Chains A and B, each alone.
Chain A
Amino acid sequence: MSEIVDARGLSCPQPVLLVMSKIQKKASGEIEVIVDNEVSRENISRAARAKGWEVREERREGEDRHLILVR
């Protein structure tokens, strides 16, 4: 079951930092991240990969982007 990080409405770099904090606490598992802009999507994908996590899935729902990160 995914843990959800809702990073909508936050300004850079807060979305990345929210996800990083979640990643620090989980050695492995699945995290679903919700953002509302492309820059946050890119930054989070990049930061997660740098920590050894994989972006398993990305989908768009209206203005929101959902990313599923797994390790």
Chain B
Amino acid sequence: MFWKKLAAMAGNVVGAKHKTDGRSEKGILVFHHTSEVIRAESLLKEAGYTVSVKGPPPDLRTGCDLVIEFPLVSQLKIAELLAGARITPLKILPLQDLLLEPVGLFHTKDFGDYVMVRAANMKITIDKNDLRIVNVSGGGCPDVPFLAESLVGKSLHEAPPPRSIGHTLCGYALQLAYEELLRRCPG
């Protein structure tokens, strides 16, 4: 008891703070198919939950390339909400049980005058000088050529959001890449 008090006093003198990396406050929802991720994300965001789509941790095997990170404190309510919409996660896991964290979805490559962002299987490239989209590619969905025709040549801030014109998984991934570019290049 005495030594515990002494250690606590020492901590206060030095100003040490108890560090948490936030991992124990979060969990991930794992789904069988990416379409379920898309539906669940929309549902949870509309309900006001702060969730984010990420790549699964490397030590987690899943049939889908995306997981949803959510605040653990809301686990029960989130599970009820999903059940009500007939969305059934394969697994619901606290992050603290996993060796590694979910990975970021975005890969950015700088080509000098151009920058490319890739999200999952879709890539979007812009000219840094005028923020015009010069290339959209990736995926194998039938609407990819249409998405490319609709976006290439347009300014990043004037182009239609991919999700508004593409309704496949490729459209969803492209939307993520587009949003990441908007964050990096605010108008």
Contacts and interface: CB of A to CB of B under 8 A. Distances in A.
A21 B152 CA distance: 16
Interface in A5-22: 12-14, 16-17, 20-21
Contacts of A49: 153
Contacts of B125: 13, 16-17
B60 to A, nearest CB: 29
Interface string B133-145: 0110110000001
Interface of A: 12-14, 16-17, 20-21, 24, 39, 42-43, 46-47, 49-51
Given A17-B114, A20-B127, A12 B145 contact: no
Contact of B134 (A13, A39, A42): A13
Given A16-B125, A47-B152, 5 more contacts: A13-B125, A21-B113, A39-B137, A42-B148, A47-B153
16 contacts: A12-B123, A12-B138, A13-B111, A13-B125, A13-B134, A14-B111, A17-B114, A17-B125, A17-B135, A20-B114, A39-B137, A42-B145, A43-B135, A46-B152, A47-B134, A47-B135
Contacts of A12: 123, 135, 137-138
A13 B123 contact: yes
Interface residues of B, number: 17
The secondary-structure label for the interface of chain A is: helix
B149 interface: yes
B116 interface: yes
